[in-house]
Structure 1
Amino acid sequence: MLQSDPVIAWLLDSDPSIRWQVMRDLLDAPEREWMTERAKVETEGWGARLLSCQDADGQWAGGAFLPAGFDPREWKEHGQPWTATTFSLSQLREFGLDPACGCAKRTVKLIGANARWEEGGQPYWEGEVEECINGRTVADGAYFGVDVSPIVDRLAGERLDDGGWNCERINGSVRSSFASTINVLEGLLEYQRSTGGTHRSREACRTGEEFLLARSLFRRLGTGEPADERFLRLLHPNRWRYDILRALDYFRASAILTGANPDPRLGEAIDHLRSRRLQDGSWPLDDSPAGRVWFKLDDGQGKPSRWVTLRATRVLRWWDAQRSINA
């Protein structure tokens, strides 16, 4: 019945990077079937296209965080560029490139040998200084089989008193930010999935999650007002930015890994997500970060988005199923 659903059919009529996740998360296909589809990410569609943009030394656009020859005026006039290594690696992880494939292993090795962070020249897999960047480096490294435990330990020690993280901590910030916190949480979750985690990393996950849950994923703790109206807009690709769908998809993945029940404090964000569903059953793309990209992944703002629809559908499927079980 699900396969006859026009929204499911629309999602399947897409790129391998979406199809394999639909098969796994929405159709409950056998692992051998979705793994076969997932393998196509390396050789077909967006995954193959992004891999074809890779430099001979394993990087993208000649830089770790910024393209080689980057002019700061570009960021000011056109937005942050997203073509360098860190964002390309994260994109491949989102696509689901098999970390065991030869291409992925070669990429990890080359980046370790050749990529250095612009901020201080550190080897790529040793991490940068900002929590946002290091959270994504942990996520990518853990996913692709790199030992990122030193960065994980550092992040666990960089928590602020309210339980989360802020990239402005080094400049004196004492309050966590939603964006920094979700970036770190995703990294710690990938580390836990890959290694089992440590007591310290799991505790850091717990306090970071509590930071978001205490705020219903988008509200200020003191006033209850939305911390930023943009958090309620559906964004893709997120890059380093935050929205409630990104947070809900994180909590879904965390609960599946740990066996936790859905926290009732997710309910308001869930209700908002439901309210944004279009009449045809899809969800729209509200926004994409401005800036240079290798290629676009959606049809444009205001139009139905396969990526947003995939994520929203699997979040609601998980929420409704678990709430029914626990009713």
Structure 2
Amino acid sequence: MTQSDPVIEWLLDSDPSIRWQVMRDLLDAPDRKWMAERARVETEGWGARLLACRDEDGQWAGGAFLPAGFDPREWHEHGQPWMATTFSLSQLREFGLDPACAQARHTVALIGANARWEEGGQPYWEGEVEECINGRTVADGAYFGIDISPIVDRLAGERLADGGWNCERTRGSVRSSFATTINVLEGLLEFEKSTGGTPRSREARGTGEEFLLERSLFRRLRTSEPADKNFLQFLHPNRWRYDILRALDYFRASAILTDTAPDPRLSEAINHLRTRRLEDGRWPLDRSPPGRVWFEFDDGQGRPSRWVTLRALRVLRWWGTQASIA
């Protein structure tokens, strides 16, 4: 890929949060160049705009998981709100806010001092009770330099017999969920990137990966039917939801970290990804989670999406490069 490619030019004509990832993942730019672009996330564009939405105590919208004063009718009538601390912090991680920058360090310290989970009043960095939420808390905490090893150990012990996770476990679920499992896997991977992981966390990550791979990332194990047709549609932002592109991007990052070849069981999902490419080389945004947000950073459902296209191109580049090496 070159900077003169029309799709690359379109991606670069965007926000710093996208540009630095294009430079690193698609153009193989020198570290100093993409890191300089990444530094702009703190002061320009979507990253700076989201940071400006913080409360004085470091939270967003006055709550950990839900905005202050939340009325449950809103969720039923308009969708889950995405403005509170957990979703805002995860979004900054996706943007690539440098965890060493002043605003990041100040924010995570304030959250540790002031944020409490609505479910039980626990301090934010001690985690909630649902595995799906804790997976993202681990990812954010590990990325931003917080010691979240107690949550990691708890998640490793909360696996179901099939190797994955389900946030309905405490309510009797005995089968893992695609969505909960990818949230936990991303957290465990970020923890491993930051700390090297532990034998228990690495083993848990392996069983979670196997849960998805056995199902070709989207099929029911017993019938081989798609578990949910929405898994084959491309979603952004994912929030807690699952689609195969999110899973493929995870497996790409996992393989790069561990220096392993792509698993052949990803091939069906890869082929589907290829079929969804538009004639102009881009990928569309199929859907976005409904609900209140601070602001939009895609051009709308049904239109080409820079975020979806970035993820798709880096997955296919990784897959093709590894196949040629093999």
Same fold (TM over 0.5): yes
Provide, for residues 230-249 of structure 1, a one-character-per-residue CA deviation record: whole Å limited to 9, x for no partner. Answer: 00000000000000000000
Q: What one-letter code is carried by the residue in structure 2 that aligns with 1:104?
A: A
What does 1:56-75 correspond to in 2, within 5 Å? 56-75=56-75
Aligned to 2:234: 234
Question: Does residue 304 of the first structure (1) align with residue 279 of the second (2)?
Answer: no
> Offset of 1:250 from its aligned partner?
0.1
Question: Does residue 150 of the first structure (1) align with residue 117 of the second (2)?
Answer: no
> Offset of 1:208 from its aligned partner?
0.1
Distance between the aligned counterparts of 1:113 and 1:261, measured in 2?
A: 42
Question: Does residue 28 of the first structure (1) align with residue 28 of the second (2)?
Answer: yes
Distance between the aligned counterparts of 2:42 and 2:33, measured in 1?
A: 16
Q: What one-letter code is carried by the residue in structure 1 that aligns with 2:324?
A: S
> Offset of 1:260 from its aligned partner?
1.0
Distance between the aligned counterparts of 2:169 and 2:2, measured in 1?
A: 47
Provide, for residues 136-165 of structure 1, a one-character-per-residue CA deviation record: whole Å limited to 9, x for no partner. Answer: 000000000000000000000000000000
> Offset of 1:99 from its aligned partner?
0.2
Distance between the aligned counterparts of 1:297 and 1:275, measured in 2?
A: 25
Q: What one-letter code is carried by the residue in structure 1 that aligns with 2:29?
A: A
Aligned to 1:281: 281
Aligned to 1:263: 263
Aligned to 1:89: 89
Aligned to 2:160: 160
- Secondary structure, aligned partner of 2:121: coil
Aligned to 1:195: 195
Q: What one-letter code is carried by the residue in structure 2 that aligns with 1:169?
A: R
Q: What one-letter code is carried by the residue in structure 2 that aligns with 1:114?
A: N
Aligned to 2:223: 223
> Offset of 1:89 from its aligned partner?
0.2
Provide, for residues 232-278 of structure 1, a one-character-per-residue CA deviation record: whole Å limited to 9, x for no partner. Answer: 00000000000000000000000000001000000000000000000
What does 1:38-49 correspond to in 2, within 5 Å? 38-49=38-49
- Secondary structure, aligned partner of 1:2: coil
Distance between the aligned counterparts of 1:65 and 1:278, measured in 2?
A: 36
> Offset of 1:13 from its aligned partner?
0.3
Aligned to 1:126: 126
Structure 1, gaps ≥5 residues long: none
TM-score when scaled to structure 1? 0.99
Aligned to 1:246: 246
> Offset of 1:191 from its aligned partner?
0.1
Distance between the aligned counterparts of 2:275 and 2:290, measured in 1?
A: 26
Distance between the aligned counterparts of 1:134 and 1:316, measured in 2?
A: 30
Provide, for residues 174-214 of structure 1, a one-character-per-residue CA deviation record: whole Å limited to 9, x for no partner. Answer: 00000000000000000000000000000000000000000
Q: What one-letter code is carried by the residue in structure 1 that aligns with 2:207?
A: T
Count residues with an aligned counterpart.
Answer: 326
Q: What one-letter code is carried by the residue in structure 2 that aligns with 1:137?
A: T
Q: What one-letter code is carried by the residue in structure 1 that aligns with 2:94?
A: E
> Offset of 1:31 from its aligned partner?
0.4
Distance between the aligned counterparts of 1:273 and 1:26, measured in 2?
A: 17
Q: What one-letter code is carried by the residue in structure 2 that aligns with 1:247?
A: A
> Offset of 1:2 from its aligned partner?
1.1
> Offset of 1:323 from its aligned partner?
0.7
Distance between the aligned counterparts of 2:255 and 2:2, measured in 1?
A: 24
Aligned to 2:313: 313
Distance between the aligned counterparts of 2:92 and 2:312, measured in 1?
A: 20
Distance between the aligned counterparts of 2:101 and 2:304, measured in 1?
A: 32
Distance between the aligned counterparts of 1:234 and 1:315, measured in 2?
A: 14
> Offset of 1:55 from its aligned partner?
0.3
Distance between the aligned counterparts of 2:231 and 2:240, measured in 1?
A: 13
Distance between the aligned counterparts of 1:144 and 1:3, measured in 2?
A: 31
Identical-pair percentage = 84
- Secondary structure, aligned partner of 1:4: coil
Please identify runs of 4+ aligned residues in structure 1 that moved more than 3 A.
Answer: none
- Secondary structure, aligned partner of 1:241: coil
Provide, for residues 275-324 of structure 1, a one-character-per-residue CA deviation record: whole Å limited to 9, x for no partner. Answer: 00000000000000000000001110000000000000000000000011
Aligned to 2:174: 174
Distance between the aligned counterparts of 2:146 and 2:260, measured in 1?
A: 27
Distance between the aligned counterparts of 2:261 and 2:163, measured in 1?
A: 21
Distance between the aligned counterparts of 2:2 and 2:31, measured in 1?
A: 18
